[in-house]
Amino acid sequence: MFYIGGFDPAGAARYHALYAGEAAEQQKLGQIALQVGPRRRVQGGGACWDIEAQEGACTVRTRYEYLPWDGIVRAHWTQRRLALVRDLVAASLYLVASGAARTLWRAHRVAALVLLLPFLLLCALVLLVPAAGTAAAALAWSWTQSAVLAALAGPVVAAAGAFLVLRRQMAWSADWLGRSLAFHVRQARGEVPELPDLLDRHADRIVQRLAESADDEVLVVGHSSGSILAVSVVARVLARWPADTRCAFSLLTLGQCIPVVGALPPAAAYRDELLAVGTSQRVAWIDFSAPPDGCCFPLVDPLAACGVQAGHPAGPRLLSPRFFRMFEPAEYAGLRRDKFTLHFQYLKAGRRADAYDFFSITAGARTLAARHAAAPGELFPDAIGSPVRTRREETREQGS
């Protein structure tokens, strides 16, 4: 399998440690036994590790290869606060002015709001907090006629407001969201010149593996922003499809945010890639995105959300991982409050065995399509512009 992570400056070491640690937790549930080997470097700057799994009577050996783009992330990971504010304001205003914000709002209101959240928090900090301080000073003067109390009330209220806004900013990982949005706007505009060459190299590596035909399945996994890149990589693979390939080819997207790029007007080339992947008979594409995860577009057809007209049923099969079934109610309630941790739960073990199991998917005995052949799809005919329907579905699931 080939893994493409999200907009994260951390490299392969972090993801190897995460996989090994969570695999040890998952096998305690008794569904699959896993041995995760050491991390090794591979040509091109990536890394890989071998996994041996025992699932039922089957012994399965998997090569897990990490396809890096953390170097590009670090190059675009703005450190200076003023530069970050500049990039955030420019990207957010472009999202609104281009009409993309409206498109994203129709696709999923919560996801669109989360994208604009860092900008809204910045506006609250710059505009509302000083206004609240001024109002507090005016009220203190009108009530007490004391210049001292008025002079104290304004700064105290302003400081308290700034503290609350900054606390929310940290809790919601607003800086990370702002950096990610600014990067993807540049990507849609073609302003990340080093990215296409990297995607070509990743595609060549996958084509090489397919050509060897030594595997039962070649699986590409894209998490978060990695789902955006995974579509581009798979499109390149399909364009270079090797003759006489006999193994299954699958794409798994987790917590997908494909419309963040695909809905932007300049991203015509990306929409062509999305159409190629979504309509191909050579790749089995399944998406798991959870409605409580505010950092993705859950149960939203990415082709329709990006305005791609396929002319016939296309796109991924949309499923919910149903995280609430993997935890005790109290633990799940805490997970829902920690949005950043929830966004990474796709890559982690649960406390209860359930249909969604990242480790059985990536190291188990069945292909992606076979494993989820009987899983109920969550693709609604009116999914675009109907996020309420999605939330109702999640409520129904929790009550079942």
Read off the pLDDT of residues 41-53 as tens digits, 9 standing for 90 and up: 998 778 999 999 9
Long-range interactions of 75-83: CB distance < 8 A, separation 24+: 75/194, 76/179, 76/182, 76/183, 76/186, 76/192, 77/9, 77/179, 78/179, 78/182
- Within-domain flag for 191: no
- Residue 165: the pLDDT is 45
Residue 68 has pLDDT above 90, yes or no: yes
User: How far apart are alpha carbons 144 and 136 in whole angstroms?
Assistant: 12
Same domain? 16 vs 126: no
- Residue 45: the pLDDT is 78
Same domain? 56 vs 84: no
Domain boundary, last residue among 146, 178, 210: 178
The predicted-structure confidence for 236-272, as pLDDT tens digits, reads as follows 999 999 888 889 999 999 999 999 999 999 999 999 9
pLDDT confidence of 391, banded at 50, 70, 90? very low
Same domain? 8 vs 94: no
- Residue 392: the pLDDT is 36
- Within-domain flag for 22: yes
Same domain? 47 vs 120: no
- Within-domain flag for 202: yes
Residue 188 has pLDDT above 60, yes or no: yes
- Residue 312: the pLDDT is 66
Same domain? 116 vs 161: yes
- Within-domain flag for 286: yes
Residue 107 has pLDDT above 90, yes or no: yes
Same domain? 255 vs 357: yes
- Within-domain flag for 144: yes
Q: Is 143 exposed, middle or buried, given 0-12, 13-18 or 19+ CB atoms closer than 10 A? A: exposed
Same domain? 162 vs 201: no
Span 298-322, mean pLDDT?
87
- Residue 135: the pLDDT is 55
Task: Show the domain range for 290.
Answer: 2-72+196-399
pLDDT confidence of 309, banded at 50, 70, 90? confident
Of 326 and 85, the structure prediction assigns the larger pLDDT to 326
Same domain? 97 vs 7: no
Give the pairing of strands 317-319 and 47-55. unpaired
Residue 172 has pLDDT above 80, yes or no: no
Of 158 and 388, the structure prediction assigns the larger pLDDT to 158
- Within-domain flag for 186: no
Residue 376 has pLDDT above 90, yes or no: no
Same domain? 282 vs 150: no
- Within-domain flag for 190: no
Average model confidence (pLDDT) across the chain: 84
- Residue 154: the pLDDT is 46
Residue 178 has pLDDT above 70, yes or no: yes
pLDDT confidence of 388, banded at 50, 70, 90? very low
DSSP single-letter state for residue 76: T
Same domain? 265 vs 385: yes
- Within-domain flag for 187: no
Q: How many domains does the chain have?
A: 2
Same domain? 93 vs 150: yes
Same domain? 173 vs 291: no
The predicted-structure confidence for 355-364, as pLDDT tens digits, reads as follows 899 999 999 9
